[in-house]
Structure 1
């Protein structure tokens, strides 16, 4: 009679489980990557253990593509804390949601605010977004009334004044879209992107259309939509802009070239990504070292910083870290942008398995713009993971930062 043993089955990593499920499905890495909006290199990095468990929305999409019904079949003993990996709701989300879904039928006889005053309020709202402090909270306080007043003015004014109001309305929808990013309201992100594009087209403004295309690219990229459609949208919008070196047109053209670079990076097409990044880089050079667009922040610093994101999305960790080491975001005139690019730098170091740098950069990102870090999916999951299972030398720092960010402690 054989000897009985209670020894556990061999441990399998998340990557090994993904590889087994993929091979069972009979699909190649490029096919699986394409179906989840990522590259074959991304799938390889997952299977080899260079990348860990992705955030919950992408994990769910991956499980669906692999034909896996129970997430435990992929995660095994590696626990996934949904509170850490999913989007947290900002306290003002219900008010912003109501402002976007409430229709006002104010009579045309009620005098709208003058165009110049409305424009000044929009500019002030953008200042709040880029400013130091709780930027989401500050913007949420002004968004509902601003949207209502602009919508009313767009109904009442005509001719040139109406077009100016519509441009301001499009910019305000961009703000709403930014507020809604990293919030559990994907349908509202799509709604605000679509409304912004509609307002820009109604204004017959190529510059407003270009900005709307930039923000719609973010929507489509996060939703995993076909990158060909994203690039096509960006390039068609760029073609509407006047040729030459007019500052406003050049900045927007560079922004759209950057959108194309990020789109190609997301699907692993390194050569195309770098080709479009080079074009954005050329636009930044022509604008000058110190230039930064007042609210889009396009300029030298932004282009350099997005090289980190591009390399990280291509799963080229060493190159992403090299890009991060070259970038100084300190002069950037936006606390939210500084914080975001610090988080992207942390993501680069995470690819290289350098947790000390990850914690340091996420701490700096939180100090620079608390709400940027608090609602960022990578920042939330990375800090939660390091607080529970990071190296002993940094675990206490990660736990302190987790507490400061208000993240839940795993049960």
Structure 2
């Protein structure tokens, strides 16, 4: 592709690569947190070339191997460094990359206690306004202890340890997403699935598929993410009537996962069908139920509905869904609440309402500044409000951008 595009300017390269992949301008712009008009001007060479961070975001959405495909002469590989956008990352990375050749069996691992610690870490993740910092303090030791249990135990106890290890890596993926290098996130998701396979439990394997699917989708591998979610749901299908609430919940979470993925592929029918399936399953769950880590339940279905409509570029529908009867405070996860407000900011941004975008993004940051500092879309929107938001919003946008860690 690089040779075929030789001599063409950046904007034209972006347009050609996007159209070859069958992706609409609106879909690509939305996934990088920009307006369709911004991308149109970039492609038509009506504005300066995108900033480096915007090129990186475009490269990820378009699935290029390195920025050469977008910019031409100089190769700038995507995701090959060891950047850490959060202080918790280095210690977690160190625990993940350790390979001790000898393991002391004393004290003997207690799988019940390991499970309790894992559940506690998930509760911290959902209840904290600074979940990456708070979970980051316990994550390294938890990884080491679960890995050690896998080395020492055998039989049924080893399978229990494997299940806990898989859940630890599932949580690690949540912590590391967007703040660590993609290679580390891929490693975590792979280990999550390998531990789940060692646990030999359809529920654990399906949960790991939910995690791995998140990573596939963030890497612009939507087809693989959708296929994985569908196959994992089929693993749990035999248990939907006679199984546990957790089995039904993970099945539902996988349908919601598929709904978001299909929406990002502009497959509206598939997205809405999976959303309907998730909603039907949520009605079967006990009142107030929320899965311990996917958060599947009626509230999460409502939140996902907003995300799906935003990804389908239906900003008015997203605002209508959110403003009708959606109460953000019913969501047990603070991080997820903040990301709902970010979805709303995206919808206002798509509609070209810059004052509304700023107000909603400020609200998201008040819910969890850490979440907004960690998410590339919030940072991208804030940066664009500073550079092209106009006099009405630029002053406040500049303050917000600094709060999100941008240099303006």
TM-score (norm 1): 0.82
In structure 2, the partner of 1:232 is 227
Deviations 1:223-264 (A, max 9, x none): 11151x322221222222213163111111101111111121
In structure 1, the partner of 2:245 is 247
In structure 1, the partner of 2:278 is 280
Query: Is the CA contact 2:306–2:318 (under 8 Å) kept in the aligned structure 1?
Result: yes
Of the structure 1 ranges 395-404 and 249-258, higher mean CA displacement relative to structure 2 is found in: 395-404
Does residue 310 in structure 1 map to residue 308 in structure 2? yes
* Matches of 1:167 and 1:64, distance apart in 2: 35
In structure 2, the partner of 1:208 is 204
Measure how far apart 1:320 and its partner are: 2.3
Residue 147 of structure 2, aligned match among 139, 144, 151: 151
What is the aligned length? Answer: 374
Measure how far apart 1:394 and its partner are: 2.4
Query: Is the CA contact 2:229–2:255 (under 8 Å) kept in the aligned structure 1?
Result: yes
Does residue 360 in structure 1 map to residue 326 in structure 2? no
* Matches of 2:72 and 2:345, distance apart in 1: 28
Query: Is the CA contact 1:108–1:155 (under 8 Å) kept in the aligned structure 2?
Result: no
* Matches of 2:154 and 2:129, distance apart in 1: 38
Specify whether residues 387 and 43 from structure 1 end up closer, same or farther in structure 2 by C-alpha distance, changes over 3 A only: closer
| Secondary structure of residue in 2 paired with 1:330 | helix
Measure how far apart 1:44 and its partner are: 9.4
| Secondary structure of residue in 1 paired with 2:191 | helix
Query: Is the CA contact 1:51–1:351 (under 8 Å) kept in the aligned structure 2?
Result: no
Residue 137 of structure 2, aligned match among 138, 141, 155: 141
Query: Is the CA contact 2:89–2:180 (under 8 Å) kept in the aligned structure 1?
Result: no
CA RMSD in angstroms comes to 3.1
In structure 2, the partner of 1:76 is none
In structure 2, the partner of 1:398 is 397
Specify whether residues 50 and 314 from structure 1 end up closer, same or farther in structure 2 by C-alpha distance, changes over 3 A only: farther
Deviations 1:151-176 (A, max 9, x none): 11111122222111111110100111
Of the structure 1 ranges 259-268 and 382-391, higher mean CA displacement relative to structure 2 is found in: 382-391
Measure how far apart 1:88 and its partner are: 6.0
Gaps in structure 2 of 5+ consecutive residues? 1-8, 41-49
Query: Is the CA contact 1:88–1:182 (under 8 Å) kept in the aligned structure 2?
Result: no
Gaps in structure 1 of 5+ consecutive residues? 1-16, 74-81
Does residue 49 in structure 1 map to residue 37 in structure 2? yes
* Matches of 2:295 and 2:18, distance apart in 1: 40
* Matches of 2:14 and 2:376, distance apart in 1: 26
Specify whether residues 63 and 252 from structure 1 end up closer, same or farther in structure 2 by C-alpha distance, changes over 3 A only: closer
TM-score (norm 2): 0.83
Specify whether residues 157 and 68 from structure 1 end up closer, same or farther in structure 2 by C-alpha distance, changes over 3 A only: closer
Specify whether residues 149 and 350 from structure 1 end up closer, same or farther in structure 2 by C-alpha distance, changes over 3 A only: same
Does residue 388 in structure 1 map to residue 396 in structure 2? no
| Secondary structure of residue in 2 paired with 1:133 | coil
Q: Where do residues 24-173 of structure 1 align in structure 2 (5 Å cutoff)?
A: 29=19, 31-33=20-22, 38-39=23-24, 42=27, 49=37, 55-60=54-59, 62=62, 71=71, 89-107=85-103, 109-173=105-169
Q: Highest CA radius of gyration, 1 or 2? A: 1
Residue 218 of structure 1, aligned match among 195, 214, 217: 214
Specify whether residues 69 and 168 from structure 1 end up closer, same or farther in structure 2 by C-alpha distance, changes over 3 A only: closer
* Matches of 1:101 and 1:364, distance apart in 2: 37
Deviations 1:138-190 (A, max 9, x none): 11111111111111111112222211111111010011111110124101111
